[in-house]
Amino acid sequence: MRRIAVYPGSFDPLTRGHLDIIQRASRIFDHVIVGVSNNASKKHVFSVSERIEMVEEAIRGLPNVDVDTFSGLLVDYVKRKKARVLIRGLRVVSDMDYEFQLASFNRRLNKEVETVFLMPDDQHTYLASSMVREVARLGAATDQFVTPFVARRLKLKFRAK
């Protein structure tokens, strides 16, 4: 039986911390699906197609990782993909309360879905997409936080505004 995991998120934008989690998950699971959320109630800097493109660029070379988009209930998406594991990144202790609530809620919705928490490398512990967006919006370089492709996209996005 193949071990399929889903790593969901908005990835607005994809950071080196996200990529670290994807790489770690790809070594543990047979197949990893990076699920880019399509939540119309959230205001994103990048469109779904732009976020997918950034993830696709970053996961080249990881043959057991794919990117997809989803909307609606995450546990329903996981079931449709025949996955049984949700990957969640834990950066700092303050993430734990929210993530544990989410994992508990998801377990109540579907007892067959397990949540696995992965910690990124120490250098990415305090890295958040919101901070990267703010730094980019203010015109600072983002190369240390994101891949070169994402850094170029951020520069173009905020130069246009």
> What residues contact 129, with CB distance under 8 A and at least 6 apart?
10, 11, 12, 13, 14, 15, 18
Residue 160: per-residue pLDDT: 63
Q: How far is CA 92 from the centre of its chain?
A: 16
H or E element in which residue 9 lies: strand 4-9
Tens of pLDDT, residue by residue over 57-74, are 999 999 999 999 999 999
Residue 129: per-residue pLDDT: 94
Give me the CATH topology for the region 4-126.
Rossmann fold (3.40.50)
Does the pLDDT value for residue 161 go beyond 70?
no
Which range has the worst mean pLDDT, 87-96, 97-106, 128-137? Answer: 87-96
> What residues contact 67, with CB distance under 8 A and at least 6 apart?
33, 34, 35, 36, 52, 55, 56, 59
Angle, helix 48-59 to helix 16-28, in steps of 10 degrees = 60
Does the pLDDT value for residue 143 go beyond 60?
yes
Which bin fits 82, alpha (ψ -120 to 50), beta or left (φ > 0)?
left
- Beta strands (DSSP E) in 51-124 are 65-70, 85-89, 114-118
Q: Fill in the amino acid letter for 147.
A: T
Tens of pLDDT, residue by residue over 7-54, are 999 999 999 999 999 999 999 999 999 999 998 788 899 999 999 999
* Buried residues in 2-22 as b, exposed as e (16+ CB within 10 A): eebbbbbbbbbbbbbbbbbbb
The average confidence (pLDDT) of the chain is 94
Q: Among all residues, which ones are annotated catalytic?
A: 18, 42, 91, 129
- Alpha-carbon distance 30 to 35, whole Å? 16
